[in-house]
Each structure stands twice: as C-alpha cells, then as structure tokens.
Amino acid sequence: DAGVIQSPRHEVTEMGQEVTLRCKPISGHNSLFWYRQTMMRGLELLIYFNNNVPIDDSGMPEDRFSAKMPNASFSTLKIQPSEPRDSAVYFCASSPTRGGTGGQPQHFGDGTRLSIL
C-alpha cells in the first residue's frame, strides 16, 4: 500500500513567490493533518481536516497560509506571499477517524523541505 505522498520533496524559491505544497493521504483515511517542523519550534500542527472539512486551523501562522482539501484524496497548503521565516520542513499526515476513546496512529509523508531565499 502506498503511504502518504507529498510533493515536491524540495522547494527553493525567492521571497514573495507563491508556494503550493501537495499531499495525497492514504486511501480510506478520514483525517488529514499539516505540520511544520523547525529546529527552533519543533513540530507544529498547522491545520487538520476531518472528512475534507477543516476542523482546527488555529495553528496557521497568518493569513499568508491557506489549506484546502477539495476531495478525500488530495490536499494543498499554500503560502502567498512567502517569506524567509517560512523556511521549514512541512509534513502531511493522515489517519483513520478516531472512534470513541481509541487513538489512531498518524501516518506521515516524508515532507517537503522548503527554503525561501
């Protein structure tokens, strides 16, 4: 089975440019998560979706960031305009929907390493 697929793996662009990160979750998973990882701040949850609906976007840094999930098999995270402080590794993860008190493991993609010059 294919895992979570992210593209591109690496992105280098100049500040001010629009950046779009893509994610294909594992088929059948109802929840999708976007994270950002930096040395300084560790792993931060940006936003997550249940059944394609955004549930919590309180981690989105500012209005320059937006995320969409038009269908169950695709999500995008967009930064416009990008700034050097957005440089980080961005991860997408998916999981089955949590049932009752049962936790569900999250399955991570290998991330997009983003560098804004």
Residues 24-63, one symbol each (x = binds other proteins by CB under 8 A, - = not), give -------x-x--------xx-x--x-x----xx-------
Closest alpha carbon to 30 in 59, 73, 66: 73
Q: Which is nearer to other proteins, 60 or 111 (CB)?
A: 111
Question: In this chain, which stretch among 13-21, 61-69, 75-83, 99-107 interacts with other proteins, using CB under 8 A?
Answer: 99-107
Q: Which helix (H) or strand (E) holds 89?
A: strand 88-95
Whether residue 91 contacts residue 6, with contact meaning beta carbons closer than 8 Å, is answered with: yes
Question: In this chain, which stretch among 13-21, 69-77, 79-87, 107-115 interacts with other proteins, using CB under 8 A?
Answer: 107-115
Strand partners, 49: 32, 54
